[in-house]
Each structure stands twice: as C-alpha cells, then as structure tokens.
Chain A
Amino acid sequence: MEIMSVVDEEQVRAADAEPDRLEPSAFGLLYEQHRLAVYRYLRARTRNDEDAMDLAALTFERAFAGLGRFRRRDGGVRAWLVRIARNTAIDAHRHHRPTVDLAGVDAHLGRIAVEADRRGGESEDVLDLVTRLPGDLGDTLMLRYAAGLTAREIGVVIGKREGAVQKRIERGLAALREAYA
C-alpha cells in the first residue's frame, strides 16, 4: 500500500511564512504576488483573454471585500485567492447557463476515454483535452498547472483531501497520456 502526495517545498515554505490574518495595507503586494496565478487559472477556464481579465478583476474585488474572512489555516493566500477566482468563474458560468450541466459526470473516473484531436496547435490540443475530461479532473489539472497550486492547496480550493486530489491529478494525467499514446 502506497501513500503519496505532491509537495513543492518552496510553496510550503512560502505558505508557512504567511500571516494568520491579512491587513488591507498588504493587499497591493498580495495582488502583485498572485495576479498571474489567478489570471492563468481563469484564462485556462475561460479560454478567452478578455473574460479572464474581467473575472480576475472581480476576483480581487471580492478578495479585498472579504479580507477579514481570510484565515491562513484555510490554505494560505494563493489557495484562498484561487478559490475566490474559481467561485467567480462558476458564478459567471451559471449566469450564462442557468441550467446545470451534468452531462460530463462520470462517476467512474478511471474509465476516462479521451481521444486526442491533433488538429491545431499543441497548446490548444492539450487544453481541449483537459476541458473534455469528465467531472472535476480538468479543473484539478488547471488548478495544478495553470494556478500552480499544490495538491494540498487544491484540496482546500475544491473541498477534497490531499490524497483524493492526488488521485485526480494522476487520473487526469493518465487520461492525457492515453490520448497521446
């Protein structure tokens, strides 16, 4: 039996150095430090630069309004910001599509069947594949590779435990490897 998880020591150290609470006076630095991660995650989700910028602006507005609710034990500043970004994107998606789309639900995440569409650029190819992964696998990969979150931070963002996140990352990567085999 194997226990495993993703660790990035630099990120762990950085999170350890964060304060328990955030002061409004620190928001400028916070924004500069994390705007790229937030933007990249939203850009991956929306596939549209303009939408990503709009949602990023909303994210930081909401973050500033909710500064008093931040607690470091909830996963650190970056996870907190990306969680706000994710909720902002979900809200926007719901606004545009009032009915809940569960067509992608696949309870058996191991039975992922994705075929690579090799037309177009390589980056668009892999992004297409990621967005077509069932359930929250695609989102998990975006949180990992666009926002650069650790499995532990992703767990905070999506409300799952680190081990469950790691399994999702591995299943997502396995599906992509299969698609490119």
Chain B
Amino acid sequence: MSGQDHIEDRLSKAMAFTPSTVAMQSLDERVARMLAAPAARRAPSGMGRLLRPMALAAALALTAGAVAAALSLIDRLAEETSPGWATAWERAEILGIQRTDAGLTLTLERAYVDVNQVMLGIAIDGLDPLQLGDSAYRLSGVTQLTGPGGWTPLPEESNNVARDVAGDESAFIFTFGSPPLTAGMWELSVTSVGYGEGNMTDGSWNFAFELPEPAGTAVTANASDTVGDATLTLTELRVSPSIVVARIRLDVAGTTFAGWSAGTGQDGEVIRHGEATYQINEEGIFEATPQENEYLTLEGAENAAGTWEIVIPELGYTTADGEGVGIVGPWTLTVTVP
C-alpha cells in the first residue's frame, strides 16, 4: 500500500463514525417531529404521512430515471459544472475532430476562448470501464496546448477540469486561464489518458483548430480602498461571457507577508455591476506574486460597460514568520468600464 493509500485509508476509517442505534433513533424521531409542523401547515391534504418518514420510506421513491438522458455525456458535463461553463460550451466552436490511436478514439468536440479562459472538451471512447470499489479513482490525461504566437498555459495553477464516466465512454472538459488575445491557430496534443499511474494508455492524438478573437473586455485599473493599515487595489478586471475575474493586490503598511486570502463564498465577497450581483466563488493565489490574488465568479457577463464594484468583507494574511493575521473590512473597489 502506498503512503497516500495508507493516509486515505486512515482518513476513511477515522471518519467512518457509527452512531449508536439509540442516537440514530433519537435523530429519526427529532427529524420526524420537526417535519411534522411544516408538513401540517403547508400541505394539509395527505401530508401527515411525513410525520413518520422513516416508517414510510420504503413506500416512497425518488423518481429515479425519470429524467431522460437527452444530453450527451460531455454536454451534460458542461451544462452542470457551472453557468459560465454552460455559456462557454454553448458558444464554443463545434469541431468534432476525431483521432484514434492505441485503441482509443479521442474526439475534440468543442473549443472556446474568451479573455479569461480557453476551454476544450474531449470525449474518449474505448477506455476500459472503471473497476468499482470503495476508493476514488483518478482519471488523468497528459496534454500539451499551444495557442497563437506560441502561447502555452501556465502550469497547473491555471487549469480547471471536469470529467465524467459512463460505461466505456468518458469525457474531459478543461480550461486554462490567461489565453492569448488574438485569433489564430491552436494545437492540442494528448499523449496519455487513463486512470492514473499504472493504468494509463500512451498514444498520440493531435488536434489543430482555429479559434476567433476572444470575447470579452480586459481593463487595467488602479482602484484602491484602505481599512486600517491594509489597502486593497484592483489592478485588472476581465469581463467575459463565461466568467468575471478581478485581480487584486494587498498592501499592509510596514509589513511584508507571504500571502493573503479573502476567502470565497461565505462572507459576502461579491462583484456588482448595475443591478447584477455575482458571487465570488474562487480565489487564485500565485506563489510568484504573493501580493496579488485573483477573484473569480462562476458566471460571466455579456456587457462590460458601466461601473463595477468589488466588495471584500474581510481578509487574512500570513506573515513571513508564518503567523496568521485577520482583518475585518469591508473594502470596496470601484472601476468604470467605458
């Protein structure tokens, strides 16, 4: 057993809490009691059965299979990952380029680029079905992407991927950030796909395709707000149909720090544009630039014109000595895009 397997096994065992029968019975009863009031209030006709949901559970059934699988695996993957990905997939160039090697057929279904990311979707036919078990399985692909002007993506930090498996059909959709801002030819080379070390199939699947000029608007900015000793500065805002990205720098008077974080998704970090409010869902941290982070949404905007407001309620930074320091704001950064 490898070190990682050992740790995963140890974690699984440590977290496999088994409640006592009495405790679980108590929970069952408490849930049933709590459900009773709203059930009675909201649905007087026939909803009294919810007072005893556990006893009736066997008689109730989720309508499994009621939703027809009208979409293909890769379409569903794009649609369900995020609103921004669904938009990108909808607007992507439909390519359908097939390459077969080593018994596997890879189809580059679609490709999309805007000022924030390039997205590629690949369907794979012929991979052996996963051997099911208790462990999570790792699906990997080794790729090399080249864009106009010889552009290549930054290593791993700018990469997001979603994938899915159904029988022997598999699909990848992946993105890279900071694409080149010109139209031109792209080349994608896939050299290995499979389920991780010891289960990879090597081959050569090469794709060449053309993409238009990226959609969206990128503006440099210098909008600051200071709370106490901490100043946040919006240095760049990139607005595209699939995502909005704000690049923000932290300066703390008299202090050097190893990195900082505003967190995401829990404390009201938002980007506002007119009447629209976008939740900040992801944070990009770059070791090469510890002062600057990126804050990303999961959906994009069609039109960048107007006033944008980025609100950061609180943040924390790590000093050179490794000490964590928290500061409460809020900071509000405003920029107007013509």
Chain B residues, Cβ within 8 Å of A1? 142-145, 153, 155-156, 159
Contact between B4 and A173 (Cβ–Cβ < 8 Å)? yes
Q: A53-B19, A102-B325 are in contact. Are A60 and B31 (CB under 8 A)?
A: yes
Q: A1-B156, A105-B324 are in contact. Are A26 and B285 (CB under 8 A)?
A: no
Q: Are B314 and A64 in contact (CB under 8 A)?
A: no
B1 CB within 8 Å of chain A: no
Write out, one digit per residue, whether chain B residues 284-320 have a CB within 8 A of any chain A CB (1) or not (0): 0101001001000010000000000000001111100
B7 touches A28 (CB 8 A): no
The chain A residue with its CB closest to the CB of B4 is A173
Interface residues of B in 49-90 (CB under 8 A from A): 49-50, 53-54, 56-58, 60-67, 69, 79-82
Bin the interface of chain A by size: 35 or more
Is A4 a contact of B23 with CB atoms below 8 Å? Answer: no
B181 within 8 A of A: no
Chain A residues with Cβ below 8 Å from B61 are: 26, 29
Which residues of A13-32 have CB atoms within 8 Å of chain B's CB atoms? 13, 16-20, 22-32
B160→A164 contact, CB < 8 A: yes
A13–B169 alpha-carbon span in the complex (Å): 13
Cα A29 to Cα B163 with chains together (Å): 29
Q: Are B326 and A31 in contact (CB under 8 A)?
A: no
Contact residues of A: prevailing secondary structure: helix
A177:B4 contact, CB within 8 angstroms: yes
Contacts of B276 in A (CB 8 A): none
Instruction: Give A7 to B39 CA distance when docked, in angstroms.
Output: 37
Q: How many angstroms from the CA of A5 to the CA of B137 in the assembled complex? A: 8
A107 touches B259 (CB 8 A): yes
Tell me how far the C-beta of A18 lies from the nearest C-beta in chain B, rounded to whole angstroms.
6
Q: Mark A14-54, 1 if CB is under 8 A from B, else 0.
A: 00111110111111111110011001100110000100110
Q: How far is the CA of A4 from the CA of B324 in the complex (A)?
A: 31
For window 270-284 of chain B, which residues contact chain A by CB distance below 8 Å? Answer: 279, 281-282
Query: B18-43 vs A: 1/0 string, CB under 8 Å?
Result: 01000110110011001100110001
The answer, among A24, A44, A109, A162, for a CB contact under 8 Å with B47, is A24
- Tell me the smallest distance from the CB of A126 to a CB of chain B, in Å: 5
Residue in A27, A73, A100, A163 whose CB lies within 8 Å of B80: A73
State the B residues within 8 Å of A (CB): 3-4, 7-8, 10-17, 19, 23-24, 26-27, 30-31, 34-35, 38-39, 43, 47, 49-50, 53-54, 56-58, 60-67, 69, 79-82, 129-130, 132, 136-145, 153, 155-156, 159-166, 172, 174, 196, 258-261, 263-267, 279, 281-282, 285, 287, 290, 293, 298, 314-318, 322, 324-328
A residues engaging B (CB < 8 A)?
Answer: 1-10, 12-13, 16-20, 22-32, 35-36, 39-40, 43-44, 49, 52-53, 56-57, 60-61, 64-65, 72-73, 75, 77, 90, 100-111, 113, 122-124, 126-127, 130, 134-135, 141-142, 144-146, 150-152, 158-164, 166-167, 173, 176-177, 180-181
Complex A-B, nearest 4 residue pairs according to Cβ-Cβ distance, in ascending order: A102-B326, A107-B259, A28-B53, A105-B316
